[in-house]
Amino acid sequence: MNTIAILLNIIGFIFLLNTSKKAVLNSSFLEIWMQQNSFISKIIGSILLLVSFYISIKTNGITAGILFNLLAITLVGSLLILINPFKKIFYTSVLIILIIITALEFLIQ
């Protein structure tokens, strides 16, 4: 469940990052849509972050869940802000890596 919470953090932060006016933005189809519909993207990004908080609180308890999610948002946000201007983020590779990690997480339990 922690992997799903981190995945929701990544997707939510990408939605919120692409609504920024100051950030260096890419030009893929999904990102262009996010930039043109910034209000809807902000709502979707905020909902994804709130769902991530809910999942991590249910999984880890109140205090540990909040701390885990704050740490995950900080880590994900700083990495996305650093890597995004270099245009080295490929969403298919991120999705494949997270699917493999999620499968490993469920196989280990």
pTM: 0.82
Half-sphere exposure of 74 (CA within 13 A, CB side): 6
Measure Cα distances from 38 to 41, 63, 64 in Å.
Answer: 5, 32, 32
Is residue 28 scored above 80 in pLDDT? no
Q: What residue has token string 């802000």?
A: 81
What is the model's pLDDT at position 89?
67
Confidence of residue 42 (pLDDT cuts 50, 70, 90): very high
Q: Residue 25 in contact with residue 31, Cβ under 8 Å? A: yes
